[in-house]
Amino acid sequence: MNIVPLPRRRTIGQVHVAKVTMAHGGGGKAMKDLIDDVFVSAFDNGLLAPLEDQARIDLASLAKHGDRLAFTTDSFVVDPLFFPGGDIGKLAVCGTVNDLAVGGARPLYLSCAAIIEEGVELSLLRRIAQSMAETAREAGVKIVTGDTKVVQKGACDKVFLTTTGIGVIRPQCAMSVDRCCAGDIVLVNGVLGDHGAAILGARGDMALDSPIESDCAPLNGLIDALLTAAPSTRTIRDATRGGIATVLNEFAHGSQVAIEIDETATPIRTEVKGFCEILGLDPLYLANEGKIVAIVPAAEADRALAAMRAHPYGHGAVAIGQIRSGLPGRVTMRTVFGGTRIVDMLVGEQLPRIC
């Protein structure tokens, strides 16, 4: 391993005004102070400290985890920025960590790019950055590089974030959307639809008083436990926009199989069901930010459920359905009335700006 000595620690700048101005995006001292005050102070680590135009990562630190790199990126534009159970910062870290983890990778490093509207309160930015730092620590990842841009008032809505992540895929891990087989079991790690319901409740434009909190959480630890218990797991996805209905359709089309789930086994809070009935929404399409859908062989399903239930983010794990040999690409649900309905791919979106 090549060890490069870190430069002498420099003085960290501070912002002495209450709101972001266009000068904070101009590339000079004001911009340096903004980056130092908001982001460097929150994300502080040895790879970030040199503040070069890139993070420099020794390949040996990656290779010890495996020989295949996982790489993902995502943008976050949630409205409102803070909601019950989370905020845009926590959402950004969890979303990118989970996108890596569902592919069998161990998330290691993130970047963060922020587009900031002129006039945003510095205190709001500090809260977002601190939330990102706390979530990264929980997930065991480091935010090692990034970028900021300031745009004129009205050119964006307060703050947009883009996070990119890299991780290393476990040896012998071969999960793919085309590996589902008849007889496999469909598992979820708990109640569904909480994030979408929490965001709509937080907006307040429906005049509803709801105690529902987002399920936003980093799931790499849970997925690690699942894959250890069920190494033949076929595929995993985090059920974000489009909910579990969209994920199940992706599985069914990717593997050309039929999937049947049971309404009585599908865990949805009574409050979320009531929320959806009032607004004419289908909870199967509501977004989640702390829920996965996993397809595992029947022989490993019990071990997988036990491992998930032993993890803090999987206490409510259940089997909700099975892969069938019916019409390829078709997802159906057995209803509480004993009938069957088709669960199709979502067309458009039920709720905008949820992640």
* Whether residue 221 is found in the same domain as residue 259: yes
Q: Write down the pLDDT at residue 325.
A: 85
Contact present, 89 and 96 (Cβ < 8 Å): no
pTM: 0.94
* Whether residue 29 is found in the same domain as residue 83: yes
- Which two structure tokens, joined as six digits, stand for 17? 């005004």
* Whether residue 121 is found in the same domain as residue 217: no
* Whether residue 111 is found in the same domain as residue 149: yes
Instruction: Return the axis-axis angle of helices 194-203 and 270-279, rounded to nearest 10°.
Output: 60
Q: Which has the closest alpha carbon to 212: 191, 197, 190?
A: 197
CB neighbour list of residue 354: distance below 8 Å, 6 or more residues apart? 78, 195, 196, 199, 241, 287
Is residue 337 in a domain? Answer: yes
Residue-range definition of the domain harbouring residue 27 = 22-169
Residue 121 CB coordination number (10 Å):
12
Q: Write down the pLDDT at residue 205.
A: 59
Is residue 353 in a domain? Answer: no
Q: Alpha-carbon distance 328 to 323, whole Å?
A: 10
Q: Which has the closest alpha carbon to 6: 55, 42, 39?
A: 55
Q: Alpha-carbon distance 218 to 153, whole Å?
A: 33
Q: Alpha-carbon distance 150 to 155, whole Å?
A: 9
Cα separations (Å) of 193 from 202, 290, 334?
Answer: 14, 10, 19
User: What does the pLDDT look like over 103-149, one tens digit per residue?
Assistant: 999 999 999 999 999 999 999 999 999 999 999 999 999 999 999 99
Q: Write down the pLDDT at residue 168.
A: 98
Of 109, 144, 169, the residue at which a domain comes to its end is: 169
Give start and end residues of each alpha helix (H) in 110-169: 122-139
* Whether residue 190 is found in the same domain as residue 147: no
Give the pLDDT mean for 154-165: 97
* Whether residue 225 is found in the same domain as residue 117: no
Give start and end residues of each alpha helix (H) in 161-269: 194-203, 220-229, 243-255
Cα separations (Å) of 348 from 179, 195, 202?
Answer: 28, 18, 22
CATH assignment of the domain containing 119: 3.30.1330.10
Q: Which has the closest alpha carbon to 244: 195, 303, 211, 278?
A: 195
Is residue 176 in a domain? Answer: no
Q: Alpha-carbon distance 311 to 229, whole Å?
A: 12
* Whether residue 75 is found in the same domain as residue 107: yes
Q: Write down the pLDDT at residue 352.
A: 78
What's the total number of domains in the chain? 2
- Which two structure tokens, joined as six digits, stand for 172? 């012998």
Confidence of residue 259 (pLDDT cuts 50, 70, 90): very high
Is residue 117 in a domain? Answer: yes
Confidence of residue 210 (pLDDT cuts 50, 70, 90): low
User: What does the pLDDT look like over 83-93, one tens digit per residue?
Assistant: 999 999 999 99
Of 102, 135, 169, the residue at which a domain comes to its end is: 169
Is residue 347 in a domain? Answer: no
Is residue 2 in a domain? Answer: no
Q: Alpha-carbon distance 91 to 96, whole Å?
A: 9
Which has more confidence, 279 or 159?
Answer: 159
Handedness of CA 233, 177, 313, 62 (dihedral sign): positive
* Whether residue 42 is found in the same domain as residue 127: yes
pLDDT of 306 above 60: yes
User: What does the pLDDT look like over 281-305, one tens digit per residue?
Assistant: 999 999 999 999 999 999 999 999 9
SS3 (DSSP) at 175: coil
- Which two structure tokens, joined as six digits, stand for 95? 């979303």
Q: What percentage of the chain carries pLDDT values higher than 70?
A: 95
* Whether residue 222 is found in the same domain as residue 279: yes
CATH assignment of the domain containing 241: 3.90.650.10
C-alpha angle 180/181/185, rounded to 5°? 80
Is residue 66 in a domain? Answer: yes
* Whether residue 102 is found in the same domain as residue 230: no
Of 139, 169, 199, the residue at which a domain comes to its end is: 169
Confidence of residue 333 (pLDDT cuts 50, 70, 90): very high
Is residue 119 in a domain? Answer: yes
* Whether residue 136 is found in the same domain as residue 203: no
* Whether residue 211 is found in the same domain as residue 333: yes
Instruction: Return the axis-axis angle of helices 301-309 and 220-229, rounded to nearest 10°.
Output: 150
Confidence of residue 201 (pLDDT cuts 50, 70, 90): confident
